Amino acid sequence: MSKRLRSFGIVLAIFALLLGGCNFQRETGLANPPAGSLSVGIVKPGSDAYTNTGEIEVKVSATSGKVEDVQVSYEGPHKGIVSLTPSGGVWRGTLPESLPSGSYTLRARAKSGGLERASPPVSFTLDREKPEVAILAPSSSILLSGSSLKVRAQARDALSGIKTVTLFANATRLNVNSVQRGDEYTFDLDVSSLPEGVLALRVVAEDKAGNSQEAQVDVVVDRTAPTVEWKIPPDGSQVSGVKTLEVEASDNVGVAKVEFFAGSTKLGEATTAPYTFSWNTTGYPDGPVTLRARAVDAAGNSAEATLTVTVANQDKEAPKVVWKAPADGSQVSRTVTLEVEASDNVGVAKVEFFAGSTKLGEATTAPYTFSWNTTGYPDGPVTLRARAVDAAGNSAEATLTVTVANAPKVSWVSPMPNQKLAGFVDLQAEVRALRAVSRVDFYFGPDENSLAKIPGSPSPSGNMYSLGWNLLHVSPGTYILKVEVEDVAGSLGTAVIPVEVASAFVITTPAEGDAVGPGAGREIVAVTVGVNGTLPPGVTISQVEVYINGQPVGTATQQTATDGSQVYVYTWDTSQAAPGHDPTKSGDRVITARVYYTGGDTFTNGVKVSYQP
């Protein structure tokens, strides 16, 4: 190549460089073009991930120059921008704590020198809501022995879904696999693997975002068998007629029942101490019989005790016994005569009378009667038992059930059912009782399952009991009033009525829905507060404040109404501006009043009026 051509090429190259520099300066505003490259990518959270932390990590690489700024924008139920800070080779930040759960998309943008780059978008789910979990079975505290237990739980999560459902005993994780059907999880638990005592079975549900929630039910693991020991009859003794069998039984949790056996035949059982059973030996041939007592606790653990007796009956024919009075199923009160008719092939030795398991007395000659004072028994059903015994010890029994009805009677005198009450009322109830009255209490509440005792002790006057009731602190509404009387035997008498409690202080004018203001021809409005019923003794009104739309505007003054009652009146000039009231704007105004009285204060009802400028 000639020297002239080489010189021309050099000139062209210099011209191209100058032209490129001009273009770069025109496009970027920089005198010198940037060098190197910049890459940016979101590391955390991952694409389509579930998280509950809101933590962000961005990886930024710049081949030259320093990374000056990294920001992440988020869009979803809310949107915004988070500035990141460098830490450990990445840029980190956290989404706002107040950000609601939902699906979001992130984009990171980094700057280095004159370069600016954006990452590909990353979509993820922010889930800060705990899963729902409930134990379906067992539904309440139960006793367990060495058997298996099926634990059923229900777990749900609306956003990320359930990841794991785990069963714990107290703080110990149980290695029990669950069977899932829909949102129900079943664990087959070997109770023998659990320690004895009270345990909290906990089901912990964790969602895919890391949120967890638990449900708990308490169980008692009991593998300790009861102890049982014979008291009557002695081992090796001779028995005849009707014989009382008695054992002593105990358990670390509680004895559920004691079963009595003669040989392999079950005679009966007792569920409460003393554990006894009346065994009629005349149904067995003379000779040795093995008696067995089996004590069982609530968890199913059992223990047995045995002994051998010899049945020796000569006169094997038991007496006959039939009730004559009272009638089976009848109602009894005060003192009642018990009478039976008894006979035997040889002769009746005695007739014993029982109420429940308590012996009342006995009669040794006909007519076989006993005077029973029922006032010593609580009201309710009582099983009466007459036991006829002959000289050989043979016996027969007859039973019937009567209902003891000695409960006190009580009725309301004041107030009347559905009566409206306010301020202070005098509660009065009339009581008629066969036994001495131990207490009289008055209760009130929204329903019979949510009653609270009215403070104070009722004053008796003959059969009348009275109690003053201060209603100033009782919210207006419909309530149940109950009077409860208990006598010395523990029998109860009750009377219940509905009443309506009204506010002690009410706004009587203006009326609900009234139009007020210059446009309605009522520029001046008299706000009148009246008193419902009577105030409690010693209670006086010290001040009445009037409010418009919840803002105090002035104090009402005491005046005497045309019927002689005391009212409190505030004159409202609707054309004047006041807190809660702009006289230039039409619309609803709610008027209330706050009444200050001895010992407290309360608001009246609200009255809504329509203001017209």
pLDDT in tens, 371-412: 999 988 888 899 999 999 987 778 999 999 999 988 899 999
Q: How confident is the model at residue 92 (pLDDT cuts 50, 70, 90)?
A: very high
How large is the average pLDDT for residues 232-242?
A: 89
Q: Select the highest-mean-pLDDT range: 136-145, 191-200, 329-338.
A: 329-338
d(CA 589, CA 580): 8
**CATH pick for 409-501 out of 2.60.40.1220, 2.70.170.10, 3.40.1360.10, 3.40.50.970:** 2.60.40.1220
How large is the average pLDDT for residues 510-526?
A: 95
pLDDT in tens, 526-562: 999 999 888 999 999 999 999 999 999 999 999 998 8
> Where do the domains of the chain lie?
1-33, 38-126, 132-221, 228-311, 320-404, 409-501, 505-611
pLDDT surpasses 50 at 119 = yes
Chain mean position to CA 412? 33
Residue 532: its pLDDT value, please?
87
pTM here?
A: 0.42
Amino acid at 46: G
How large is the average pLDDT for residues 8-33?
A: 35
Share of the chain above pLDDT 70, in %: 94
d(CA 17, CA 30): 15
- For the domain made up of 320-404, give the CATH fold: Immunoglobulin-like (2.60.40)
Looking at the domain covering 38-126, what would its CATH class be?
A: mainly beta
Q: How confident is the model at residue 31 (pLDDT cuts 50, 70, 90)?
A: very low
Return the C-alpha torsion angle 160, 162, 166, 171, nearest 10. 30
pLDDT in tens, 123-151: 999 999 999 999 999 987 777 776 788 99
Phi, psi of 146 (to 5 degrees): -95, 10
Q: Bridge-partner residues for 404, per DSSP?
A: 332, 380
How large is the average pLDDT for residues 268-285?
A: 92
Q: For the domain 228-311, what is the CATH code?
A: 2.60.40.10
Share of the chain above pLDDT 90, in %: 72
d(CA 391, CA 556): 94
Q: What's the token pair of residue 303? A: 């223990």
How large is the average pLDDT for residues 271-294?
A: 92
pLDDT surpasses 80 at 16 = no
- CA-based torsion, 358, 363, 369, 373: positive or negative: negative
d(CA 451, CA 363): 49
pLDDT surpasses 50 at 28 = no
Residue 35: its pLDDT value, please?
53
**DSSP E strand stretches across 319-432:** 320-325, 331-332, 335-343, 348-355, 358-363, 368-373, 380-390, 395-404, 409-414, 420-421, 424-432
Strand duo 331-332 + 395-404: pairing: parallel
Residue 177: its pLDDT value, please?
82
d(CA 318, CA 346): 10
Residue 350: its pLDDT value, please?
94
How large is the average pLDDT for residues 344-350?
A: 84
361 Cβ contact partners less than 8 Å away, ≥ 6 residues apart: 352, 353, 370
Identify the CA nearest to 231 among candidates 324, 322, 327, 305: 305
**Superfamily (CATH H level) for 505-611:** Immunoglobulins (2.60.40.10)
Identify the CA nearest to 578 among candidates 556, 548, 604: 548
Greatest Cα pair distance in the chain: 162
Shared fold status for 132-221 and 228-311: yes
pLDDT surpasses 70 at 8 = no
CB 247, CB 258: distance < 8 Å: yes
Q: What's the token pair of residue 132? A: 């729902």
If you write DSSP's letter for every residue of 110-173 in order, what string do you get?
Answer: EEETTEEEEPPPEEEEE--PPPEEEEEES-S-EEE-SSEEEEEEEEE-SSS-EEEEEEEETTEE
pLDDT surpasses 60 at 13 = no
pLDDT surpasses 50 at 250 = yes
Residue 488: its pLDDT value, please?
86
Lowest mean pLDDT among 22-36, 111-125, 321-335, 341-355: 22-36
pLDDT in tens, 554-589: 999 999 988 888 999 999 999 999 999 999 999 999
Residue 192: its pLDDT value, please?
83
> In terms of CATH architecture, what is 132-221?
Sandwich (2.60)
- CA-based torsion, 91, 96, 100, 104: positive or negative: negative
pLDDT in tens, 469-481: 999 889 899 999 9
Mean of pLDDT over the chain: 89
Residue 96 CB neighbours (<10 A):
11
Residue 12: its pLDDT value, please?
36
Residue 191: its pLDDT value, please?
86
d(CA 304, CA 573): 92
Instruction: Give the helix, strand, coil percentages of the chain, each rounded to 5.
Output: 5, 60, 35
